[in-house]
Structure 1
Amino acid sequence: MIVRDASDDDWPAIFPIFTEVVRAGETYTYPEGLDSAAARSLWMQPPPARTVVAVEGGRVLGSATTGPNRPGRGSHMATASFMVDAAARGRGVGRTLGAWVVRAARDGGYRGIQFNAVVETNTAAVHLWQSLGFVTVGTVPGAFRRPDGSYVGLHVMYLDLT
């Protein structure tokens, strides 16, 4: 598996993954039913953001987008978002993308990585980020509405790169 910068030609492979993850409603606050152009504008942001894909055998297995967490005085902190094709889950795609983002943030001179909204019931992601050194610095209770109408917390997770 390789991780490389995403190109415009990758969007047709990323969009179904984006749609599938958003439709499941368990991990992102993105609205459902976005058309390709609207979804693309959220995921394939212009520099200084960067979007990458994890590819194996010519097939896009997942994607990550990363860049400054905030503009201006917050631009020394990175953030990232990740999506993995359901058929490729459990094969290390998320870990590969996560490790790539940590290296890229470190190489890019960021002082840390802040994830603003990790759904607390997304235990696979929470475990993965913890295994990469992230800590939960707080949880906003009830900040995420699940498809069944119940509310769960959103973790703010952080990795110090200094």
Structure 2
Amino acid sequence: MKTRPATAQDRAGIWHILEPIIREGETYTLDSQMNDEQVLDYWFSPNHQVFVTICGTQMAGTFYLRPNQGGGGAHVANAGFAVAPAFRRRGIARAMAVYALEQAEKVGFTAMQFNFVIASNMGAIKLWHQLGFATVGRLPGAFDHPRLGLVDALVMYRTLAKPHSNTAQSAT
């Protein structure tokens, strides 16, 4: 398994991973009817540093790393993760998350925050807790789940190991 920065040549493979997740509409707040161009424009937003994880010759997952906010909030990282259905439950998400945390610290972020973890996404919540994230907020009924109706969204937060100056660098 190898994680590396994504290139323009990875866009089709990333769409192959993201499309079923977006269409499912159960874990991301993106409109389930967005087309490939719209989703990839979001995933490759200018302030996103995008990565892919390769297993053998296949793209198994992708994630982005970005500042959670601008200005005074730019020292806190945010990230989004997606694992190809065929590669789920193989430790890919954990490996990408560990890599993202290391990368975030390397570029100067002092913490990482997930703003909207869907409460029904138990696998993600379990992983984030195992990696030291605390649930610091709950937004009641904030997500309209396609099968479950209104479910809560969680705000999760973790400080990073090494203290840095107050001039964290952008992930890009």
| Short-chain TM bin | over 0.9
Which contiguous aligned blocks of 4+ residues in structure 1 show a shift greater than 3 angstroms?
none
Asked whether the equivalents of residues 24 and 32 of structure 2 are also in contact (C-alpha less than 8 Å), the reply is no
Asked whether the equivalents of residues 45 and 51 of structure 1 are also in contact (C-alpha less than 8 Å), the reply is no
Letter in 1 for 2:131: L
CA distance in 2, matches of 1:159, 1:105: 12
Q: How big is the shift at 1:33? A: 2.0
Structure 2 equivalent of residue 92 of structure 1:
91
Q: How big is the shift at 1:71? A: 1.1
Structure 2 equivalent of residue 19 of structure 1:
19
Deviation per residue, 1:50-73 (Å, 9 max, x gap): 000010112110100111001111
Q: How big is the shift at 1:90? A: 0.4
Higher normalized contact order (CA 8 Å, seq sep 6+, divided by chain length): 2
Letter in 2 for 1:46: P
Letter in 2 for 1:115: F
Letter in 1 for 2:82: M
Which 5+ residue runs of structure 1 have no aligned equivalent? none
Letter in 2 for 1:128: L
Structure 2 equivalent of residue 61 of structure 1:
60
Deviation per residue, 1:90-149 (Å, 9 max, x gap): 001100110011001111111100100000110000000111100000110000011126
Which 5+ residue runs of structure 2 have no aligned equivalent? 164-172
- Aligned-pair identity (%): 35
Letter in 1 for 2:51: V
TM-score, reference length from structure 1:
0.96
How many residues align structurally? 161
Structure 2 equivalent of residue 145 of structure 1:
144
Structure 2 equivalent of residue 51 of structure 1:
50
Q: Is the counterpart of residue 159 in structure 1 residue 143 in structure 2?
A: no
Q: How big is the shift at 1:158? A: 0.3
Any idea what SS the aligned residue of 2:82 has? strand
Asked whether the equivalents of residues 119 and 144 of structure 1 are also in contact (C-alpha less than 8 Å), the reply is yes
Any idea what SS the aligned residue of 1:98 has? helix
CA distance in 2, matches of 1:128, 1:104: 18
CA distance in 1, matches of 2:130, 2:111: 16
CA distance in 2, matches of 1:91, 1:45: 28
Structure 2 equivalent of residue 118 of structure 1:
117
Structure 2 equivalent of residue 74 of structure 1:
73
RMSD of the TM alignment (CA)? 1.0
